[in-house]
Amino acid sequence: MKTLGILLLSASILSAQETTDSRDRSTARSRVLELASAFANDGFKIRDGYWSGVLEKGKPQVLEVNLFSGNAYWFSAAALAPAKKLSVTLFDESGRPVDGKSYQDGTTAAAGLIPDASGRYFVRLELVEGDKADFCLVYSYK
Amino acid sequence: MSSRSAISAVVLLSAGLLTATEPLTKEQIKSAVLSEAITIPTPGEFFSAMDEQGQPNWTQMFAPKPAGVTASREQMALMLGVLVADGYIAVEAQDGQGVKNTGKEIINLAKKLNVSQSVISRGNSINDFAENNDWSALREELEATQNEVKLSMAEQKDKDLVILVTVGAWIRGTQVASDFISKNYSPGLAGLLRQPAIVEYLLAELGKTPERVQKDTLITEVQHKLQSILDLIHTKDRTPPGPEAVNTLSSTMDSLIDEIAKGHKDS
C-alpha cells in the first residue's frame, strides 16, 4: 500500500513536471512568434514548424537547415527566465559564419540572411548570460 | 516601442561582428540537430525561390495526377505528401477552386489513415482561406495541416509513415521544379535543385523504417531512385547541376510520381 502511494505520488509529480515543461515551451513559442510577427509585417512567412528545448550557458546548440538562394530568411529565438541574453548566429555548410543582419534584445534574438547559394546552413543558438532555460526557435522566409 | 520599431532600431550589428565569429568545429557540424519540422523546407519555400529566379506559369504547372485506389498505407502516406505539394502549387497559381479540391482530397485520404478530428477541421480552414483568396494564410495552413497529419499518425502508432508524407511532398515539389528548370535552364534556377543534404536525410530516415515498410516494392523503388539522383545534385563547390543532370532528375521524378499515383497491387 505504501509502495502504491509512493508510485502514485511520483507519477503525479512527474505529470506536474511535464505540464510545467510543456507550458514553458508554449510560453517560449508565444514569445518567439511575437518577435517573428515583426518580420511578417515585412512580408516574411512564418514556418509552422519550430525547434524547442533547453539551453545552458557554455553549451550552444546547432541546428541544420536547408535554404534556397533567392529567398530571404530570418531565424528568431526566445528564451525564458532565468536566461538573460541570447544570440543567434548563422554558418554556411562548411561551418564558416555568414554575413547578414542580426537582432539582439535580452532573451530574444534573431539573425537574417539572403543566401548566395542553395544548400545546407547551420543556426547556432547560444545562451550568453543567465542560467539554463527553455527556448524556442522559428524561421520566416520571403 | 512596438517590436517592429524596436527591431528597426537595433538590427544591423552585422558584418563586422559576424566576421569575428569563430567557425563551427567539425564536431559541432556533426552533432547538429536535424528536426524534420524545421530542417526540411516546405514546397512553398522552394516555389518562392523559383518565383525570385524565373517566371513559372503556376496555372499551367498545377496539373494534379488523380490518385489510384490503394489499400497500402505506405502509398497513401506518400500520396498525402504529393497532395500537400499540389496544394502549394495551387496557391502559387492563386487557384482558389484548385486549393479547395486539393484540400478535400487531403482530408479524404487522411480519413482513410484514421487521423484525428483536429486534422479534419483543418479542411474547413483551407476552404475558408481559399474562399477569401488569403494565399499567405493558405501557405501556413497547408504546412500546419501536414504537421497535424504527421502528429496524428505518430500518436496512433503510424510513426513509420510520417517520413513518407515528407518524401511524397519533396518528390512532387522537385518534379514540378525540375520540369520547369529543364525547359528554362539557367544556373541560378538549377542551383535550387542542389539539395543533397535533404535527400541524404530522407534516405537515412527511410532506412530507419521497419523491414515491412522497406520491403514494400514502391518504397524500394523510392529509395533506389533517390539514391540514383544523389550524385546528380551533390555537386562540388556549390556549383549548380548541369542541363543534362536536370533532365535526368526531371524524368526520374516523373516516373516516381507515376508509381505513387497508380493503383497498388494490394488494393
- pLDDT of chain B, 267 residues: tens digit per residue: 444 544 544 454 443 444 468 999 999 999 999 999 999 999 999 999 999 988 899 999 898 887 777 888 999 999 999 999 999 999 999 999 999 999 989 888 888 888 877 777 788 888 889 999 999 889 888 988 888 888 888 888 788 899 999 999 999 999 999 999 999 999 999 999 999 999 999 999 999 999 999 999 999 999 999 999 998 888 777 889 999 999 999 999 999 999 999 865 554
Average pLDDT over every residue of A70-97? 95
Spatial CB neighbours of B75, under 8 Å, sequence gap ≥ 6: B216, B218, B260, B264
B120 touches A: beta carbon within 8 Å: no
- Report how far residue A99's alpha carbon sits from residue A91's, in angstroms, rounded to the nearest whole number: 9
Domain architecture of chain A: domains with CATH: 2-141 (2.60.120.380)
d(CA A54, CA A135): 6
Domain ranges of chain B: 40-261
Whether residue B258 lies within 8 A of chain A, CB to CB, comes out as: no
Nearest to B161 by CA among B81, B53, B217: B81
CA distance A49 to B103: 20
pLDDT at B16: 40
- Nearest alpha carbon to residue A134 among A26, A19, A13, A46: A26
Give the closest of A34, A101, A138 to B12, CB-based: A101
Q: Do residues A133 and A82 make contact, with C-beta atoms less than 8 angstroms apart?
A: yes
CA distance A20 to B2: 29
Maximum CA extent, chain A: 66
Q: What are the phi and psi torsion angles at B6 (to 5°)?
A: -60, -40
| Residues across chain A | 142
- Tell me the chain A residues in contact with residue B18 when contact means C-beta distances shorter than 8 Å: 89, 97-100, 102
B1/A contact by beta carbon, under 8 A: no
Question: What pLDDT is attached to residue B7?
Answer: 53
Give the 3-state secondary structure of residue A67. strand
* Contact across the interface for A103 and B7, Cβ inside 8 Å: yes
The predicted pLDDT at position B19 comes to: 46
Where does chain A have alpha helices with state H? 2-40
Q: Which of A45, A56, A25, A32 is nearest to A108 (CA)?
A: A32
- Check CB contact of B48 with chain A, cutoff 8 Å: yes
Contact B18 A61 (CB under 8 A): no
Nearest-CA distance B98 → chain A (Å): 22
How much is the pLDDT for B180? 96
| Ramachandran area for residue B79 (φ above 0: left; ψ -120 to 50: alpha; else beta) | alpha
Residues of chain B positioned with their CB less than 8 A from the CB of A48: 37, 140, 143-144, 147
> CA A126, CA A124: separation in Å to the nearest integer?
6
- C-alpha cell at position B163: 517520413
A6-64 per-position pLDDT tens digit: 555 555 555 555 556 666 778 899 999 999 999 988 899 999 999 999 999 999 999 99
B191 and A62 within 8 Å at the Cβ level: the answer is no
Tell which residue, B147, B168, B172, B164, has the closest CA to residue B38: B147
Please give the residue of chain A at the shortest CA–CA distance from B188: A69
Is this prediction's ipTM beyond 0.90? no
H or E, element range at B101 = helix B96-112
- Which residues between 56 and 115 in chain B have a beta carbon less than 8 angstroms from any beta carbon of chain A? none
Which set of grid coordinates corresponds to residue A138? Answer: 522559428
Strands (E), chain A: 45-46, 51-55, 61-67, 73-79, 83-91, 101-105, 108-113, 119-130, 133-141
| Residue B9 to residue B154: CA distance in whole angstroms | 43
The residue in chain A having the minimum alpha-carbon distance to the alpha carbon of residue B23 is A96
Identify which of B3, B21, B147 has the shortest CB distance to residue A35. B3
More confident residue, B113 or A136: A136
Interface subset of A 49-88, CB within 8 angstroms of B: 49-51, 60-71
Q: Are B45 and A110 an interchain contact pair (Cβ–Cβ within 8 Å)?
A: no
Instruction: Indicate the DSSP class of residue B238.
Output: G
- Residue of chain A minimizing CA distance to B24: A95
- Spatial neighbors of B181 by CB under 8 A, at least 6 apart, are B54, B189, B190, B192, B193, B246, B250
Eight-state DSSP code of residue B22: P
